[in-house]
Structure 1
Amino acid sequence: MAAHTVFLFPGQGSYTPGVLHGLVDETVSEVLLRLDGVATEYGFAPISPLLTETGSPSLTQLVTDDPDRLQLASYATSVCLATLLETRYGIKPDLVFGHSFGEIAAFASAGFLTVENGMRVVCIRANELRRAGVADGGMVAVALNVGRLRHLLAAIDDPNLVLAAENAPQETIASGHTAALDGLERLAPALGVRATRLRVPYAFHSPLLAGPSRTLTAALRGIPIQYPAIRCWSDVLGRYLTDADDIPDLLARHLVEPVRFLAGVRELHANGGTRFIECGARDVLTRLVTAGLPPVTALAPLRKRTTFAELDTLLEAAPSAARAATTPAVAAAAIPATATARAPATAPAAAPAVATATAPAVVPTGAVATPPISAGNGARPADPFPELAARPAADATPPPAQPRLNAEDQLTEVRRFYAEALEYPESVVTPDAELEADLGIDSLKQNEVLAALLTKYGLADHITDVKATQYPTLNAIMELLQTLQPAATESPAAAPPDVVPPAQPSGNTQEQLAEIRRMYAEAMEYPESVVTPDAELEADLGIDSLKQNEILAAVLTRYGLADRAPEVQATQYPTLNAIMELLHNLQPAATESPAAAPPDVVAPAPAADSIPPQRRSDEGQLAEIRRMYAEAMEYPESVVTPDAELEADLGIDSLKQNEILAAVLTRYGLADRAPEVQATQYPTLNAIMELLQNLEPATAGK
């Protein structure tokens, strides 16, 4: 199958002030001039200053004060980059796909719309949304798969709170009324799930926008539709578009239909898509592609403000950077200015003389982040519509407050921390660099790394509602740390009760390697067959450094070795073979001089070959097991019912299930009787009780 280049067009969160500042040539200037003309035709101020001047309003400012121009600027960024890639670099797409609002730019790239008519669609859409006055709503990114999010939404039981997007294997979006989203943000952390309010002005992809969706269909009937030159994937239809499809209807329906981005990119990949280029500001879709697909070429040319020299280097370095001769089917311009048009159904929608004044949109803030997700360089998932954030596991002991460093040493450490988390050269992570505008780090990723930094210094409990965007540079983050650290030193966080005892190291290298392969495969939701001992975790499997650190920490905890390698950096161990060497080096010392048990560890019952454990009544044993699961997950015991599905209902992933089940078996002296047990075979406490009943008689009879 021939390799194909796919242009991906992100939604309206795709904006960086002055993102085109270093890329203004004759082509970009001409496109912006045409787009400014359409904007003024509909009563909007020109949008080119937002994209060419570095002092332009931020994303947060536009969401709050001028969401209409944010939409126009996002569209303009996409079409300018797509045009630039073709005219300057000879890169043409074989396939195009738009995420949410990005469908408009994708339809223009495919040839259904001219660049100006695409802008007219954006202007009409913005006016219809504003006239509808549906400001009481928003969206929340949730670190769950679709099935588990639906269970969570069912528990809240609000008909207007719906699944809005499936972006990556563990990255979904909910949309609905503000009050319902507030409830979701309260419930999710109680279950150990990251939930982050997105900076959007409306509850996109929800029934709340049914009214403007209907009026938008009618308003778009006058826009001329052309025959496409490039294949375009429709998220709403779940297939490639044809020239017979009702484009105005599809452009309106995406206001209420869920986004199925993960399914779409997987279909494109199955059809030969191997080079994905994000045509928009930042790298949201690039990270999602990395999270949802096997290793592919994924580029985000406008991850940050850039120059032609930097763009030349990026595109030259990319494998087969899509500039090979294209097929005859894509010989037309990526975004044609003119083309043979199908006759419009009615006259074009009239442009208002003056745009109605926009009331500031309410953008409530939400919970900050948790476990890491991929960045565009091989990370897992992501921002506005993605990105996961780094948090410690729900039952992990928070590290104690660290001794206060002098400011210079701490700044050096913080720079190194950010550089490693983002996989950037440390030299570019300067104290005064803007994390978003200069380094291209979106808000979710900023939340993720800042949460991990606060955890590192034992400060996470001292500021529970921090928003990373309030601290846009490392200098600002240093001020935050200096403010928090004295209090942390005076009152270090207490360790949680009932630490799960570690598993003993396996004496069999092959068994241990098999177990570690399972742990990595389950953590990444990969087939175990691809997690081979010599596969490069980042280069071959696309696991970013934060995720590598997270899984390696779980492996070390599993074998009771975490205290023996407190400063370990996962990137020093790039394959499972290297990790096995690390464990081999650590384990003998662990066997000879076991670390002191942490306080309040649940004492194991006597071993099966010493004093036979006392068999509890079924009722007493079930009560004890419910307590163990509730304490390990920090859940209210009332929600850990005997028939609750541990993963689907309680959100406990397979790694955590294995960990707690191992503790249960150790508690009852049964660990040696089920060495190969897989917790996912026992999805409820009732099933675990059956397992114990099957194992215990043999123990009692020994």
Structure 2
Amino acid sequence: MKAYIFPGQGSQFPGMGQDLYAQYPEAKRIFDLANEILGFSLTEIMFAGTEVDLKETKVTQPAIFLHSVAQAAIIPDFRPDMVAGHSLGEFSALVANKVLRFEDALQLVSKRALAMQAACEKEPSTMAAVLGLDDEIVARICAEISDEIVVPANYNCPGQLVISGSIKGVELACEKMKAAGAKRALVLPVGGAFHSPLMKPAEEELAQAIKATTFQKGICPVYQNVDAKPYSDPEQIKENLLKQLTAPVRWTQTVQNMIQDGAAEFIECGPGKVLQGLVKKINKEAVVSSVAV
């Protein structure tokens, strides 16, 4: 069984998608449609913008989503057996398995990006990568810091977990993680505390848009971030997608569950190879690849 996986924020790079646009008419159609829907030339920034340009939230999330969907669109006879996406990538996965129309998903991604940016501006916050410490220890240390907000945010692979919360909370947690034996506990250069309770304003803002959007029954299960389990029911998928903003991304558990359910090959659709690396760290026997362009 083939599992198609879709990356999240951080996978962007200058020039992303230019080869797809130049070589594949279907990809070009999707790129041009995205510019029309968004009301500005996203492709111009993707193709010719700098790293700084691409880090702007209203650009980053739609750009990665667009690249991922366009890459999936060029696969001949594309019919996945299962799909999953890391954070933002879950929207790409839902287009790939036909739960969401591209046009609807792009508008949701754009609204999500702006809502998350507004939440970041409302209260200064951050994230940190913790390396070489068991997940249980990281979660326990976060729970012990009761006077600040700090929570596990991304379970990326064994020994690599990202925490999220208030600046003071994350800094305090990093000190405690190092004292507990972490190889590294490094504050990340991000705009705010994604996948934490501090994203609650963004969740509330996005709720109405998600509820008003039509979700169809997909052609295959989507393994969702909130609990790493497969879903096909459109209403349940909606609910889980909304919870995703304040809940951790359980990527380790997602990959483990997909393998247990029969995934024989993981194919990453989108910019970069971040997820392929994580899959191999989760299960060194896993077969991973990119979409051939």
Q: State the TM-score, normalized to the length of structure 1.
A: 0.39
Kindly tell me: are residues 271 and 247 of structure 1, through their superposed partners in 2, closer, same or farther at Cα, counting changes over 3 Å?
closer
Q: Give identity over the alignment, percent.
A: 26
Q: CA deviation at 1:238?
A: 3.6
Q: Provide the residue aligned with 2:92 in structure 1.
A: 105
Structure 2 distance, partners of 1:194, 1:169, is 14
- 1:173 equivalent to 2:154? Answer no
Check conservation: 2:8, 2:88, Cα contact below 8 A.
yes
Give the counterpart of 2:280 among 281, 285, 290: 290
Deviation per CA, 1:71-130: give whole Å up to 9, x if none.
11111111111112x24xx45421100111111111111111111111011112123234
- 1:10 equivalent to 2:3? Answer no
Q: Provide the residue aligned with 1:210 in structure 2.
A: 200
Which secondary structure does the structure 2 equivalent of 1:245 belong to?
A: helix
Which secondary structure does the structure 1 equivalent of 2:46 belong to?
A: helix
Give the counterpart of 2:19 among 5, 18, 22: 22
Query: Considering only CA atoms, is the larger Rg found in Structure 1 or Structure 2?
Result: 1
Give the counterpart of 1:268 among 250, 253, 258: 258
Q: CA deviation at 1:221?
A: 2.0
Q: CA deviation at 1:154?
A: 4.2
Q: CA deviation at 1:31?
A: 0.8
Q: Provide the residue aligned with 2:37 in structure 1.
A: 38
- 1:57 equivalent to 2:56? Answer no
Q: CA deviation at 1:287?
A: 0.8
Check conservation: 2:128, 2:170, Cα contact below 8 A.
yes
Q: CA deviation at 1:222?
A: 1.9
Structure 2 distance, partners of 1:131, 1:185, is 26
When you count strand as a share of all residues, which structure comes out higher?
2
- 1:232 equivalent to 2:212? Answer no
Which secondary structure does the structure 1 equivalent of 2:20 belong to?
A: coil
Kindly tell me: are residues 225 and 91 of structure 1, through their superposed partners in 2, closer, same or farther at Cα, counting changes over 3 Å?
closer
Kindly tell me: are residues 184 and 8 of structure 1, through their superposed partners in 2, closer, same or farther at Cα, counting changes over 3 Å?
same
Deviation per CA, 1:299-323: give whole Å up to 9, x if none.
135xxxxxxxxx46xxxxxxxxxxx
Structure 2 distance, partners of 1:9, 1:196, is 25
Q: Which amino acid aligns with 1:139?
A: M
Structure 1 distance, partners of 2:57, 2:106, is 15
Q: CA deviation at 1:294?
A: 4.0
Which secondary structure does the structure 2 equivalent of 1:224 belong to?
A: coil
- 1:124 equivalent to 2:123? Answer no
Q: Provide the residue aligned with 2:211 in structure 1.
A: 221
Kindly tell me: are residues 135 and 298 of structure 1, through their superposed partners in 2, closer, same or farther at Cα, counting changes over 3 Å?
farther
Structure 2 distance, partners of 1:116, 1:199, is 31
Q: Provide the residue aligned with 1:194 in structure 2.
A: 184
Q: Provide the residue aligned with 2:127 in structure 1.
A: 139
Q: State the TM-score, normalized to the length of structure 2.
A: 0.90
Kindly tell me: are residues 62 and 158 of structure 1, through their superposed partners in 2, closer, same or farther at Cα, counting changes over 3 Å?
farther
Kindly tell me: are residues 197 and 83 of structure 1, through their superposed partners in 2, closer, same or farther at Cα, counting changes over 3 Å?
farther
Q: CA deviation at 1:36?
A: 1.2
Q: CA deviation at 1:18?
A: 0.7
Structure 1 distance, partners of 2:53, 2:172, is 26
Q: CA deviation at 1:185?
A: 3.5
Which secondary structure does the structure 2 equivalent of 1:296 belong to?
A: coil
Check conservation: 2:216, 2:234, Cα contact below 8 A.
no
Q: Which amino acid aligns with 2:16?
A: V
Check conservation: 1:135, 1:201, Cα contact below 8 A.
no
Structure 1 distance, partners of 2:85, 2:207, is 19
Q: CA deviation at 1:264?
A: 0.9
- 1:279 equivalent to 2:269? Answer yes
Check conservation: 2:153, 2:163, Cα contact below 8 A.
yes
Structure 2 distance, partners of 1:129, 1:253, is 13
Which segments of 5 or more consecutive residues in structure 2 lack a partner in the other structure? none
Give the counterpart of 2:249 among 242, 259, 265: 259
Higher relative contact order (CA 8 A, sep 6+): 2
Kindly tell me: are residues 184 and 300 of structure 1, through their superposed partners in 2, closer, same or farther at Cα, counting changes over 3 Å?
farther
Structure 2 distance, partners of 1:134, 1:104, is 25
Q: CA deviation at 1:51?
A: 2.9
Match runs of 1:401-420 below 5 Å? none
Which secondary structure does the structure 2 equivalent of 1:100 belong to?
A: coil
Q: Which amino acid aligns with 1:12?
A: Q
Check conservation: 2:127, 2:165, Cα contact below 8 A.
yes
Kindly tell me: are residues 212 and 38 of structure 1, through their superposed partners in 2, closer, same or farther at Cα, counting changes over 3 Å?
same
Q: Which amino acid aligns with 1:68?
A: K
Structure 2 distance, partners of 1:262, 1:283, is 16
